[in-house]
Structure 1
Amino acid sequence: MNIPSSEQALMHRAQNLAGLTLGELAEQAGIVIPTDLTRNKGWIGLLLEHVLGASAGSRPEPDFPHLGIELKSLPINEHAKPLETTFVSVAPLTGLVGVNWHNCYVRKKLARVLWVPVVTPKGVPIHERIVGAPFLWSPNAEEEALLAQDWQELTDMIVLGEVENIHGKHGQVMQLRPKAANNKARTQAFDRNGKPFMTLPRGFYLKINFTQSLLQRYLRIN
């Protein structure tokens, strides 16, 4: 798929997907649907990237680098409630000197997001799931303040050697939790005495209450 030339072109392309099933999208794109998503967790996002013309691949930049737009699929149930937290980025556990909210990767990734809800009722096979109405979002002042506060709290805990004590309850709208293909993956961190040790990689995730509020505002869902 060719790269969209503008934000308007991207939005038009995304709106044209609304109402289609993932099976129809995959067939149009010539992509095989996996039997389940346990081993292919990012498949829906990759399918949407392909049909929308995302070009970043695995590079550390927004999915549409020339537009500064990140793509996020959002599985929701038939009542438009998000079904899971939303991955933002891998969290650095070392080398955080000089990093602040204004220059961090999380803020860059969330500066402009194209959200594509995917209606995923319980028990419905992958090919029957339906693409919902997309919307473009940038954090308003209140949302940015909440994100910045959570990022600072979580980053401070990492720097102070408390990464092992961070749990899902930390953060109002964003949390830090393990992000690894399996429990054998390890990355370096520092304990409270400044000694290096190996731990599971971590990722920043948007909490369900936050994405729920976005759906309510942009799609006027109660």
Structure 2
Amino acid sequence: MKTKPIPPKDLQELMQRATDMAGLSLGQISQIHGIPVPENLKRDKGWVGQLIELELGATAGSKPEQDFLHLGVELKTIPIDRNGKPIETTYVTVAPLVDIQGLRWQDSLVYHKLQRVLWIPVEGERDIPIAQRRIGMPILWTPSEQEFAQIRQDWEEIMELIALGKVEQITARHGEVLQLRPKGANSRSVTTSIASDGQIKLTNPRGFYLKIPFTHGILARHFSR
């Protein structure tokens, strides 16, 4: 990504940019910025998200903070099928596997990132060429008390297992709405985690992801209004 994004000055400008983008294809957006469209997304998995970040002026990049920190908004592109259902789980943030004693929900990156989310749906069916995939209408979402309670419960249960040195036993089935999954360039990526005896051991990095039924509910409620 070549050009440097210009951050929106306020929430109104951010939403205006996101609304103006709706209906355009990824090819049209990439042309504006002089960026080539990859043939497939296997090697360029984050390409769509980076392109949308550039168009909207997100500045966080890979830093562990909200994409629009000055507005308190996290940006999430979400690939959807023809029926408007998300095609994959949504990555939230990397999971801490060491130095977690005393970490409270309110201080967690999951809590911080999900305070307010700008969802940008993008056509994700594999038979649609990447350049022709269109961008949908934006959704600005603030979790309800019930939604945040669901996420918190899953987060606390998963973090408790990590603290007990059971990270290897956590599967994608753990959690009602939030899950923990390996997160790394490949299986050779390693980081430190707590072992069952309290010592430190090596494991694959993990990330927190929102499950498809949960994000589908957010989209469905918004578009049925």
- Kindly state the Cα deviation for residue 138 of structure 1 after the two structures are TM-superposed: 1.0
Matching residue of 1:98: 102
Matching residue of 2:30: 26
Matching residue of 2:178: 174
CA distance in structure 1 between the partners assigned to 2:183 and 2:41 by the alignment: 16
Give, as a single letter, the amino acid of the residue that structure 2 aligns with 1:114.
L
**1:156 equivalent in alignment to 2:196:** no
Matched residue SS, 1:131: coil
**1:56 equivalent in alignment to 2:60:** yes
**Match of residue 137, structure 2, among 133, 136, 157:** 133
Verify the 8 A CA contact 1:71 1:113 in the aligned structure 2: yes
CA distance in structure 2 between the partners assigned to 1:123 and 1:112 by the alignment: 32
Q: 1:157-212 deviations in whole A, cap 9, x for unaligned?
A: 00011100000110000000000001111011122111221100000000001000
- Kindly state the Cα deviation for residue 2 of structure 1 after the two structures are TM-superposed: 2.1
CA distance in structure 1 between the partners assigned to 2:194 and 2:200 by the alignment: 4
Verify the 8 A CA contact 1:77 1:122 in the aligned structure 2: no
Which of structure 1's runs of 4+ aligned residues deviate more than 3 A? none
**Match of residue 216, structure 1, among 200, 217, 220:** 220
Structure 1: gaps (5+ residues): none
- Kindly state the Cα deviation for residue 121 of structure 1 after the two structures are TM-superposed: 2.3
Verify the 8 A CA contact 2:64 2:93 in the aligned structure 1: no
Structure-1-length-normalised TM-score = 0.97
Matching residue of 2:199: 195
Structure-2-length-normalised TM-score = 0.96
**Match of residue 47, structure 2, among 25, 40, 43:** 43
CA distance in structure 2 between the partners assigned to 1:58 and 1:212 by the alignment: 25
Matched residue SS, 1:130: coil
Matching residue of 2:77: 73
**1:147 equivalent in alignment to 2:151:** yes
- Kindly state the Cα deviation for residue 82 of structure 1 after the two structures are TM-superposed: 0.4
Give, as a single letter, the amino acid of the residue that structure 2 aligns with 1:140.
S
Matched residue SS, 2:24: coil
- Kindly state the Cα deviation for residue 71 of structure 1 after the two structures are TM-superposed: 0.5
Structure 2: gaps (5+ residues): none
CA distance in structure 2 between the partners assigned to 1:2 and 1:205 by the alignment: 28
Q: How many residues align?
A: 221
Matched residue SS, 2:31: helix
Matched residue SS, 1:16: helix
Give, as a single letter, the amino acid of the residue that structure 1 aligns with 2:9.
S
Give, as a single letter, the amino acid of the residue that structure 2 aligns with 1:217.
R
CA RMSD of aligned residues (A): 1.0
CA distance in structure 2 between the partners assigned to 1:161 and 1:145 by the alignment: 25
Give, as a single letter, the amino acid of the residue that structure 2 aligns with 1:22.
L
CA distance in structure 2 between the partners assigned to 1:120 and 1:20 by the alignment: 14
CA distance in structure 1 between the partners assigned to 2:21 and 2:215 by the alignment: 21
CA distance in structure 1 between the partners assigned to 2:62 and 2:125 by the alignment: 30
Q: 1:70-115 deviations in whole A, cap 9, x for unaligned?
A: 1000000011010000000000100101211111111001101100
